[in-house]
A and B are shown apart, each in its own frame.
Chain A
């Protein structure tokens, strides 16, 4: 059998080096085409009328005036009279017209009568005792759990215990499979007991977890030190710069061609097939580039289906619906909030003995699950309760490392407060308790040492509130995190042509993470040719299917399938060329554009000459990576990384402004394909982390039920001037490289918020409970601290 294993360090000429992103030139020149840039011939412009109420029954819809407006070509009612809209901004009617302004005019001519209903858009702490016991899971509950990557073990347990409130059918299973549900979860859904939902009141508060392990009561009673605190992160949004949307056209009455902004090229057609009543095989999906997704673009959304239906009504003409900025922020994805009151117990020496938490949060109408707390640290005695708030803020979607940044903020914050109470340097507390962090503990130890060195932790760290000069308080904070990152299922076709050209076809997408670069590096390394010699085709259902880009699964998936395809194609080429070199195929190797005999490198052919020996027919090989590790021989990808984030902040205690001065990220991700791009992923994650730590929040208006800041002025992203010195260190070499390829999109974005929050507490001497760390919250925490001190004096 050919040797698919990754080449070892001395045989790697491209893998692991710093190679520039292959699609940078096309991006910096403005030539890169995105879905929003596609303009089909005779294209119509679609616009959507959205609900202005947070919850309401639709009484009537009158589209007659819109239909009569010159230039309007089709009207599609998305939600009929009688439906209940669950959030402000929900889609009701879509129209298509010859130009955008006519479509906007038409939307304004539609009259919808609503019967407004009581709504909830708050995610404040539930009243004591609130929360009905969890009932059977609805389709929405399961959908929500799958898209938020609730661990399989947890979800299958819920399904067994709670049952389901609906009759499970194949369509639903298929849908969940499309969203990434594992075989274990699908089986659990199939086997879950059916409990029809009882009618009547549907509380906004649902107890989704009450878990006890060990003996927390005893541990708290015997503790030397008990620390308590309140921690939380609000709902934030994805704010992809390219909004969600698509352009659909019927090329004949049975065939749809859709350009769509998606992280899931190979998975979209199956989602559109049923609502449109055509087979998935008749739907072609295409995307060259995507302007950001971050977890929010896996689905064919309602507006995408509407665009395809409008196109059908308009005789097949292309119809474009791209969301306006306000809609993008209101309805196209949000990260669930998570808040917790935490109590921790420890021995004098810092050994953590117990955890207790009452947590709550919202992911919109589905409520959402408990984040994985305590995070990373497997504390022996635990008691946890979680209440999910089902409200009308809009839908949640996977947001880069679903649930982990919230879990890190809560857990690492509680640990940091415990360290303060113990008068310990947090770094020492973390090190002291690494034994309970599981299989990555030695990696954390190594990474913490590297990070501390890069931050100058030991020189700079002072106890809380003891590094203040004038108005300026300085502080350090840290956090650690984990993620899976195993490669997804992926097929790759690699063809070597008799003229020496090589092309690769793979139905993946490059969401800005460098997927194109990863694929060509692996192929070029395997074939011994330069990366420029490879023509890569991605982003189309014409190519072999490859998984959606979520959960850091793409690098492992595409690198494995590409490696296998390239090795097989290379072996086939060796077989054809061996006679010309008077050698056995097994004796051949290729490097530096040359195919040669291993034992006698003087017997060689350059790449082009070698390929000319294959005859008229090209060689095509398909490489496959299976999602299930045991089906890959050998397995070229792996799961499970650890990482460290450290922050150094300066807080102006007069104005409450927090400024990050330096951040350090130390991260492992197995065998790195491109060091330059791996570091970029970390720099980007630190930057996003600064954004959600200091600025970002989806602010809901309690009086109207609408989002107050659906724009880029008041939903603030970090800017160039918010970015301090960023230091990234990737763990490589022995112990890391031989693990195989592991994805990197999620892990480095997990710790920054927790590290910045902890650094702020270290600087000002008190905890600011909730992100974002805006001046009002910082000043309120400082004033609370002063009052407490005065009262104590």
Chain B
């Protein structure tokens, strides 16, 4: 562990910006760049606050997904979505826009809906990650899933898991929401086949249940 105050002295080597993605940049621009690749976590001072710094290079990451602990070796720039899909073969959350515009990658982080494409895997440590795969009870569909089936709210189905998870997050937090409120709550998710009519019927079915 070493302290590093970016104001005091310049690092000897700068990280080559060409190898830095948008998300890396957002992360490191608020702190600073590490001089040499060091595995694991360090703490540095940034804006007077101690901040954990990971990598570059692979670091151990522990994720709790659907109640199960997974230990992975990941570069800090890997998103939660890519960790789920490419490392763990948990593929219900889909990669579509990959920048927080469409909602197809929605998962729950401590019960709140997040876009998994816009959360780094390292940031999801210590939190309960819930994916669409955990919604069924054995072979029984969750009532939201059943409402989607009953009202034919999926066609190609690629956006469907994101909608279902966002729906659950919204209802968990707003159990007495009106159909209009639920619709607004799901407006962060997009569909291309045009299943919104079915989704609206599913919303009506669930709102009736809640009332």
Binding site for B on A (CB under 8 A): 20-21, 23-25, 27-34, 36-37, 39, 99-101, 104-105, 108, 239-243, 289-292, 294, 324-325, 511-514, 676-677, 680, 683-688, 691, 711-713, 717-721, 723, 726
Contacts and interface: CB of A to CB of B under 8 A. Distances in A.
10 contacts: A28-B160, A30-B131, A34-B94, A99-B86, A101-B77, A511-B156, A683-B195, A687-B194, A687-B195, A720-B189
Contacts of A726: 197
Interface in B87-134: 89, 91-99, 101-102, 104, 131-133
Which residue, of B18, B78, B91, B148, has the highest number of chain A Cβ atoms within 10 A? B91
Contact of B194 (A33, A104, A325, A683): A683
Interface stretch (B3-11, B30-38, B46-54, B179-187): B179-187
A712 B96 contact: yes
Contacts of B152: 20-21, 24, 676-677, 680
Contacts of B148: 24, 28
B40 interface: no
B101 A711 contact: yes
Interface residues of B, number: 59
A104 B135 CA distance: 34
Give the secondary structure class of B's interface. Answer: loop
Ordered nearest first, which 4 A-B pairs have the shortest CB separation? A30-B92, A687-B194, A291-B158, A512-B156
Nearest to B97: A712
Which residue, of A21, A30, A719, A726, has the highest number of chain B Cβ atoms within 10 A? A30
A5 B46 CA distance: 77
Nearest to B197: A683
A24 B148 CA distance: 8
A242 B94 contact: yes
Contact of B149 (A21, A712, A713): A21
B192 A240 contact: yes
B67 interface: no
Contacts of A240: 192
B164 interface: yes
Contact of A720 (B18, B86, B154, B200): B200
B46 to A, nearest CB: 24
B156 A289 contact: yes
Contacts of B161: 27-28, 30
Contacts of A294: 192
Nearest to B144: A28
B157 interface: yes
Interface in B1-36: 18-19, 21
A711 B99 contact: yes
Nearest to A679: B152
A23 B131 CA distance: 20
Contacts of B195: 680, 683-684, 687
B81 to A, nearest CB: 11
Given A29-B136, A30-B92, A36-B95, A723 B197 contact: yes
A30 B162 CA distance: 9
Contacts of A680: 152, 155, 195, 197-198
A239 B91 CA distance: 20
B72 interface: no
Nearest to B157: A27
Nearest to A290: B156
A684 B155 contact: yes
A719 B184 CA distance: 10
A28 B97 contact: no
Nearest to B159: A241
Nearest to A728: B197
B158 to A, nearest CB: 3
A20 B132 contact: no
Contacts of B75: 99, 101
A29 B163 CA distance: 11
Nearest to A292: B156
A28 B184 contact: no
Contact of A32 (B157, B190, B196): B157
Nearest to A104: B21
Contacts of B136: 29
B39 interface: no
Contacts of A691: 194
Contacts of A711: 97, 99, 101
B150 interface: yes
B86 A100 contact: yes
